[in-house]
């Protein structure tokens, strides 16, 4: 269970933006662009939830998945009074981050040493996790993996491209990330729409499991 004290220790959106050390303008641009996918039927669903929810976002400024999807969550919360978001960084909110990762069944780091970020958890205001979005949609993971393999195949001269992530040079990691995550605006909107549908579906699936007291 997440306590109100833990939730309130997170950063409001304005506090997070003010403290960002990287990707601030990209985050702002995505926050603005996210309005394009918040069509009336989506807003109607989230504005008429049976009870208000907490949205907990575990994020890092430079994480490409976080820079893509956390602005979507933040814009959704800004448009819906039923949703209140707080943002947490592993470096400054380590205990809350560990708590939320345990809630969602994620390990602090995967086999490559990367953190499973972002985590966007939807909680009741009683502190119970309903569901969580971890890193990205599975379908998008497949697309990114295909892009990575295509880039590696096209660049046989990059000798460390197939090494574990922690053993690659910084330049190789940057080049692979750029190839994987270079979404066009249209592609980004496409994946945002799919992400919103996944969030709606998860809420609709889990909501009947709430106890009468929580409703």
pLDDT score of 73: 98
User: What gap in Å lies between CA 28 and CA 35, rounded to an integer?
Assistant: 12
Return per-residue pLDDT of the chain as tens, 215 residues.
999 999 999 999 999 999 999 999 999 999 999 999 999 999 999 999 989 999 999 999 999 999 999 999 999 999 999 999 999 999 999 999 999 999 998 876 654 556 789 999 999 999 999 999 999 999 999 999 999 999 999 999 999 999 988 899 999 999 999 999 999 999 999 999 999 999 999 999 887 665 444 44
pLDDT score of 209: 61
Helix-helix angle 40-47:64-79, to 10 degrees? 70
User: What gap in Å lies between CA 148 and CA 151, rounded to an integer?
Assistant: 5
pLDDT score of 110: 55
Domains of the chain plus CATH, in order, are 4-135+186-209 (3.40.30.10), 137-182 (no CATH)
- Cβ atoms of 122 and 210 closer than 8 Å: no
pLDDT score of 206: 82
Q: Report how far apart, in Å, the C-alpha atoms of 60 and of each of 3, 70, 139, 191 are.
A: 22, 10, 22, 20
Q: Both ends of the chain: CA-CA distance in Å?
A: 17
Residue 34: DSSP 8-state: G
- Cβ atoms of 16 and 168 closer than 8 Å: no
Collapsed DSSP state (helix, strand, coil) of residue 123: strand
pTM check: above 0.95:
no
User: What gap in Å lies between CA 162 and CA 152, rounded to an integer?
Assistant: 8
């Amino acid at each position: 269970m997440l306590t109100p004290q833990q939730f309130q220790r997170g950063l409001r959106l304005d506090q997070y933006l003010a403290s960002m050390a990287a990707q601030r303008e990209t985050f702002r641009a995505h926050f603005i662009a996210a309005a394009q996918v918040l069509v009336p039927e989506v807003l109607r669903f989230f504005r008429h939830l049976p009870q208000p929810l907490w949205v907990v976002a575990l994020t890092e400024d430079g994480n490409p998945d976080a820079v893509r999807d956390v602005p979507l969550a933040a814009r959704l919360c800004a448009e819906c009074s039923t949703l209140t978001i707080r943002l947490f960084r592993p470096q400054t909110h380590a205990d809350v981050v560990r708590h939320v990762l345990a809630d969602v069944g994620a390990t602090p780091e995967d086999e490559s040493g990367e953190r499973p970020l972002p985590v966007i958890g939807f909680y009741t205001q009683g502190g119970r996790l309903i569901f969580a979005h971890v890193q990205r949609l599975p379908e998008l993971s497949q697309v990114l993996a295909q892009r990575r393999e295509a880039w590696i195949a096209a660049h046989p001269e990059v000798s460390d491209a197939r090494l574990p992530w922690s053993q690659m040079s910084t330049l190789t990691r940057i080049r692979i990330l750029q190839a994987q995550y270079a979404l066009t605006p249209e592609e980004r909107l496409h994946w945002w729409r799919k992400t919103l549908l996944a969030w709606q579906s998860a809420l609709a699936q889990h909501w009947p499991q709430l106890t009468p007291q929580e409703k």
